[in-house]
Amino acid sequence: MPELPEVEIYKRYLESTSLNKRIESASVERNQMLFNVGADKLERLLAGRKFQSCWRHGKYLFAELRPDLWLVLHFGMTGNLIYFKGDSEKPHYTRLLIRFNNGHSLAFTDQRKFGKISINKQPQEFIEERNLGPDALQIDFRAFKTMAARSRGAVKGTLLDQHRIAGLGNLYADEALFQTRIHPQAASCALSEQTLRLLFKNIKRILQTAIKRNADYTEFPKSWLLVNRVKGGKCPRCPGRIATTKVAGRTTYFCPSCQKMPQRNGQ
């Protein structure tokens, strides 16, 4: 599930495989994923150009074709990038295929088609158009605190709202709340400054650790909820059991014994 760490890994993958190579041709295999550009136009925009740089904001990946022309990828739930030799064995679920002049190709694959492909003049323009919040790795504590204080709903919903903070999805939101011992239903504006500071630090640490480990869950610390995400499973921290509930429409895993609702007077 591509959340911020996965998209950061895709960015590095694109940078290490596909930068500064002339694009011979491109083909759109499924145009329902195109957001603001037609298949013909996208193919024409890509052909003959090179990816010059990459940028990431939240769960969005931007690839520069020209200073005022960027390809924008969103990976939905099952999106992936695959760089491969030749185009004989095109990967399953390829939605956009980009052929380079070195005989290699880059495929944007997406089994469930929740991903989106678009074109924009500038990443910043796209971010403003979509009204995205600050990137979860870039946001500072002041902005984080203000954002949390303004949100009256459950803290889990706040963390998932890409307009407030961009990059966290269902799994990493649960992880951050678990590691900070916050109940996912707690109102975010009811959290003390001390708790918010801890949550802020944990979000950064969790995302950075995940990136360092290539977003490979099998390499994550055993103390994380992510690797113990089984209903009724043992909490890695206390004798309690992992439970599930729905928060903000999402299945939420948490430990009811170490993630308590905050008391009226803080904490």
Residue (119 or 160) nearer to DNA, CB: 160
Residue (155 or 235) nearer to DNA, CB: 155
Catalytic residue among 3, 8, 43, 64: 3
Which residues are near DNA by CB under 7 A? 1-3, 32, 58-59, 74, 76-78, 111-114, 130, 150-154, 157, 160, 162, 169-171, 244, 246, 248-251
Cα–Cα distance measured from residue 204 to residue 159, given in angstroms and rounded to the nearest whole number: 13
Catalytic residue among 12, 237, 250, 256: 250
Given a contact cutoff of 8 angstroms between Cβ atoms, the answer to whether 1 and 77 are in contact is: yes
Tell me if residue 5 is catalytic: no
Tell me if residue 3 is catalytic: yes
> What distance, in Å, lies between the first and last C-alpha atoms of the chain?
32
Shortest separation between residue 47's beta carbon and DNA, angstroms: 27
CA 133 to chain centre: 13
Token pair recorded at residue 251:
């299945």
Q: Where are the beta strands (DSSP E) in the chain?
A: 23-28, 54-57, 60-66, 69-74, 79-85, 94-100, 104-110, 116-120, 243-247, 250-254
Cβ atoms within 10 Å, residue 122: 15
Shortest separation between residue 190's beta carbon and DNA, angstroms: 11
Tell me if residue 204 is catalytic: no
Shortest separation between residue 24's beta carbon and DNA, angstroms: 28
Residue (74 or 99) nearer to DNA, CB: 74
Pairing status of strand 69-74 against strand 60-66: antiparallel
Residue (54 or 160) nearer to DNA, CB: 160
Tell me if residue 175 is catalytic: no
Cα–Cα distance measured from residue 30 to residue 260, given in angstroms and rounded to the nearest whole number: 46
Shortest separation between residue 171's beta carbon and DNA, angstroms: 6
What is the set of active-site residues?
2-3, 59, 250
